[in-house]
């Protein structure tokens, strides 16, 4: 039996649909019963801040998909680290055999935001004695669907600095990789960097958006300092804004400019292209871009 956490998120939602399609026994951990019913699968109520509920959810589970949100510190604490470590400890006590965890590309000690937050949780899992797989994806294509995310008020695309290349990945491919690791033969303990098949420049991304939306979408080069300033104006704490801007600058210097073949090696199919993604989500992109 598999327990899927983060089941209503960008990756978890695709994973739920994949496991349902394949007829795999699983249940989804949800905090909201109504959202759980919309998934169309067996669900169990639980909250990572309620350890007892996680213990109960893991009853009868032998494989865990671990994916939690939240890389922004709260009063100096990183809740995601505490929650994921507690979930791993609960999995050990419950007799779970293996965990597939969504981490982040470039997770490292002392890294900013998600890069630094995932590192101690990853190390805790590795030291737990459980079987483990770490998925370390590039930027999500689904970020383009977030309202108020990557588009200006005029409908242009706010891209990474310097027209840098980014190997964005479709969350559906991340979910497909997770499904294979959860239900397939044991591959041993390993980390997988997951990317799309291409590292597109920001100008090329704007061209793909233009084709899909049937209008001119321009690339707006936003420097890290300008990003930090815009975030602080919107009420984001200065320290957090500075960390976001530092990561933004790293992307501009090519931190996500390479590609891997891990999606094909794990799933047997090629990673989905950005062009396929924007065609599939044309209506949603029109809605979030305001045009």
Q: Answer whether residue 282 shows pLDDT above 70.
A: yes
pLDDT tens digits, 184-223: 888 889 999 999 999 999 999 999 999 999 999 999 998 8
| 146 and 128 in a common domain | no
**What average pLDDT score do residues 69-96 get?**
82
Q: What are phi and psi of 101, to 5 degrees?
A: -115, 135
Examine the domain organization and report whether 80 and 160 are in the same domain: no
- Domain assignment of residue 69, given as a range: 2-137
For 148, the token pair is 């108020």
The pTM assigned to this predicted structure is 0.93
The predicted-structure confidence for 143-155, as pLDDT tens digits, reads as follows 999 876 788 888 9
Q: Is residue 172 part of a domain?
A: no
Rounded Cα–Cα distance for residues 107 and 26 (Å): 29
Amino acid 77: pLDDT: 62
pLDDT band at 79 (very low <50, low <70, confident <90, very high): confident
88-94: Cβ within 8 A, 24+ apart: 88/121, 88/124, 88/125, 88/128, 88/130, 89/128, 90/51, 90/54, 90/55, 90/58, 91/58, 91/61, 91/64, 91/128, 91/130, 92/128, 92/129, 92/130, 93/55, 94/55, 94/58, 94/59, 94/61
Residue 75 has a pLDDT of: 53
Q: Looking at residue 230, which CATH number applies to its domain?
A: 3.90.25.10
Give domain status of residue 201, yes or no: yes
pLDDT of 243: 76
């Amino acid at each position: 039996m598999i327990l899927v956490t983060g089941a209503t998120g960008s990756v978890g939602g695709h994973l739920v649909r994949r496991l349902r399609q394949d007829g795999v026994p699983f249940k989804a951990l949800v905090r909201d019963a109504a959202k759980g019913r919309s998934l169309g699968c067996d669900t169990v109520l639980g909250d990572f801040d309620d350890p007892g509920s996680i213990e109960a959810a893991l009853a009868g589970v032998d494989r865990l998909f671990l994916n939690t949100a939240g890389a922004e510190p709260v009063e100096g604490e990183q809740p995601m680290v505490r929650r994921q470590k507690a979930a791993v400890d609960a999995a050990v006590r419950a007799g779970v055999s293996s965990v597939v965890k969504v981490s982040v590309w470039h997770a490292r000690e002392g890294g900013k935001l998600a890069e630094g937050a995932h590192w101690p949780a990853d190390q805790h899992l590795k030291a737990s004695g459980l079987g483990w797989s770490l998925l370390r994806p590039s930027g999500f294509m689904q970020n383009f669907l977030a309202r108020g995310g990557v588009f200006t008020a005029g409908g242009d695309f706010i891209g990474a600095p310097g027209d840098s290349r980014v190997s964005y990945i479709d969350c559906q491919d991340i979910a497909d990789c997770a499904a294979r690791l959860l239900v397939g033969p044991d591959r041993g303990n390993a980390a997988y960097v997951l990317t799309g098949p291409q590292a597109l420049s920001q100008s090329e991304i704007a061209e793909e958006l233009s084709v899909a939306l049937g209008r001119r979408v321009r690339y707006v080069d936003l420097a890290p300092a300008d990003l930090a300033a815009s975030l602080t104006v919107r009420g984001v704490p200065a320290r957090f804004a500075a960390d976001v801007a530092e990561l933004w600058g790293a992307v501009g210097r090519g931190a996500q400019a390479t590609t891997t073949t891990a999606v094909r090696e794990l799933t047997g199919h090629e990673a989905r292209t950005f062009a396929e993604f924007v065609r599939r989500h044309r209506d949603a992109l029109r809605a979030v871009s305001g045009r």
